[in-house]
A and B are shown apart, each in its own frame.
Chain A
């Protein structure tokens, strides 16, 4: 197990609007945070895996590896992916293969530099035919909600409960973000905020149901197990990086009420590691909308299909922020999720891993959850590229004896 990939340090910037900063300034900040935490120097890095979804469009940067080389004055191998999870997957494979001992995995996005055009860009990249037909980034979420409601025959009082449960997801995530110094929205919202925003828009989902547009960067340092143990006494191991893919064009997918790619990736991750889902105590799911969090809870297997809204009700209203799964507490998006922490696409996955890392190490401050004795120190992060076109499931864990 000497080559098991382990995260030894994480870093990130605050998410939000960084009008005055070049994209490289953000990744520099994130890297410095991580580097200071574990005392790894630039020169120790044998490779860099950087993710960004949009820099070629938002900042007209085509060869991101070049500015990273300039910034670090390193000439090591560097690769660019679209998400931090994709970068982590590639980096983990390299560590496992013994190609490198120490690598940087980072993510960066600068969406507000193209504020006025970003929704067109997002939609065109995410689902071109839907874009050509008049679709918006929000419309696919709303259609998924419609598909969900129809598939499970949710009507009348239950439909009201579902809509309330979705509002509670947003409220919960904002409540979490208030304890997260890096979060974009560190303010409390109420159910009334969410509902009145929906009313104002004449829509089933309103502005408080959707994640914002953000700038930000995140970074983590990945080593093999042997090295990690020399650096820290609390390494967080990458137990599994699993991914699956679905069709670009949302309407053509088999199941419009769920993300098939999530189901496959999670199933593979659990099978590969032999981990029982009931041993996972903390989850970071990709909540570009409240619907996405709800559906992902089912797709990951935490809730039965068509029932997640029942688990949320009565558990999130008190702002303690857990899902009640047959008496067991599951904490989801304790950093505030994409909804409140922020949603810089290429960096958001790093913030998810940052959060799971902190929680597993007991370093999450006010947000710290308590892990019960019987369930292990295991967490999961789910990241998407596109509207569920790619799903990455990362299982992270601490060894119980460490």
Chain B
């Protein structure tokens, strides 16, 4: 597909799986329709819009595709079939994703028939590097495996807080991992990238917060692996997750991408918090997402040292003043022009300054931001319950935590780099998600991000009673994905192939 207007229409329907239902006879259609084919003229204006984005389907019929069409060739073999929703009232074609089928593996596709599946937002197929990246949610995963079906049901907010803070959050990473020595890292499937991770994380945040997506007035997406040099990830997130009031085929939401290496997302926490607090904004919630398919040159090439640590995933946080689970008590940010890690436009992989990325870069800025914030708030390191630092590798966050006087019980929960790798913009937010997964009410959380280039943002959050109340809404939390029995391990060759994607 090279024609962008066609691409727009296909993804407008397909990303969200938009459908219509006749209010007279109940017939459903996988498309946006003005009238029902059964009821005819009298059904004009009586079609309701529905979509299958949060629904659970059933794989009715399937077959093995092991000679795909050209655009699907990079997927190799996959199960493809017909999926029904709403007890067969609506049927769509779809492929099972997140499955690696080896060439000589004997598969009985009929064994998949009758199983429940969840629609997943993914890249549609391969295109040339200068074309629009096509997406679709006609990719499905089995509901009883890595990613269970979760309902998205809106709950009215009950309490307004004095301070803005986190209302809900989500962390998403793929089913695939590479394990080398003691380090496990997430690897995207062929059809995943920073955009799909951002959408997944945002979806999980909406499910956890139970906030009506039309009340989200702004979305920021921080990433350093956007497949586009020009075209925001945030616009895709806004459209797919229906953020802001829907007005025709346009969402009443402000969406913007931010970039500052690994602090592109965490930097915007205060902006989101400030925005929801501004009395004239009329904006109840703002979402911040950090998502990356962290890039690294292959080992043995310049910059290839990063290949030992890069991960894949996204974290999303919804900020507001209603039903807050963690209030923001303060922050401190610092910046210097320090070229410790960079990627020039048009280059596929970043470069870094070797030992220069340590003391003069990471440690200097994390130290500065953390100590300044502690000073400002008249705290001691021992006063906070959890400390989270950016995690480019397993050593750096531990070293800085110890240096700043934090004990292992304060920072151990946040250390996720051993399980998921460095998820770049999603890295310190992932640590925050892991902490919020276990924190009790009235605990203090200190998070300090780091972005090469360079700068740090330190935030102090205080949890509320609602953190415990909302926990049951999210099954797919950090630990669920870390300890998931359906995780698939891949070797180095497959990892590099998956990383490059479709």
Contacts and interface: CB of A to CB of B under 8 A. Distances in A.
B65 A146 contact: no
Nearest to A205: B63
Nearest to A137: B69
A134 B66 contact: no
A252 interface: yes
B341 interface: no
Given A132-B124, A202-B106, A202-B107, A150 B61 contact: yes
Contacts of A250: 82, 93
A143 interface: yes
Interface in B44-96: 61-72, 75, 78, 80-83, 90-95
Contacts of B71: 120
A217 B403 CA distance: 82
Interface residues of A, number: 30
Interface in B90-127: 90-95, 106-107, 110, 113, 124-125
B30 A252 contact: yes
Contacts of B68: 134, 136
Given A143-B61, A146-B110, A252-B91, A133 B80 contact: yes
A132 B92 CA distance: 11
Given A119-B69, A120-B71, A202-B106, A132 B10 contact: yes
Given A116-B70, A252-B91, A133 B65 contact: no
Interface residues of B, number: 38
A10 B26 CA distance: 51
A202 B65 CA distance: 10
Contacts of B95: 133-134
A251 interface: yes
Given A250-B93, A251-B92, A134 B80 contact: yes
Nearest to B105: A202
B136 interface: yes
Closest 7 CB pairs of A and B: A134-B95, A133-B138, A142-B63, A133-B93, A130-B93, A251-B82, A251-B91
Interface in B229-258: none
A129 to B, nearest CB: 6
A399 to B, nearest CB: 42
Contacts of A202: 64, 66, 106-107
B202 interface: no
6 contacts: A120-B69, A132-B93, A135-B80, A143-B62, A251-B82, A252-B92
A132 B14 contact: yes
Contacts of A135: 65, 80, 93
A203 B30 contact: no
B63 A203 contact: yes
A123 B75 CA distance: 17
Which of B66, B69, B70 has the most chain A CB atoms inside 10 A of its CB?
A: B69
Contacts of B139: 133-134
Contacts of A130: 93
Contact of B78 (A131, A132, A134): A134
A119 B73 CA distance: 12
A203 B138 contact: no
Interface in A31-54: none
B69 A136 contact: yes
Given A134-B75, A146-B113, A250-B93, 12 more contacts: A117-B70, A120-B70, A129-B14, A132-B136, A133-B95, A134-B65, A135-B80, A136-B65, A143-B81, A202-B64, A203-B63, A252-B30
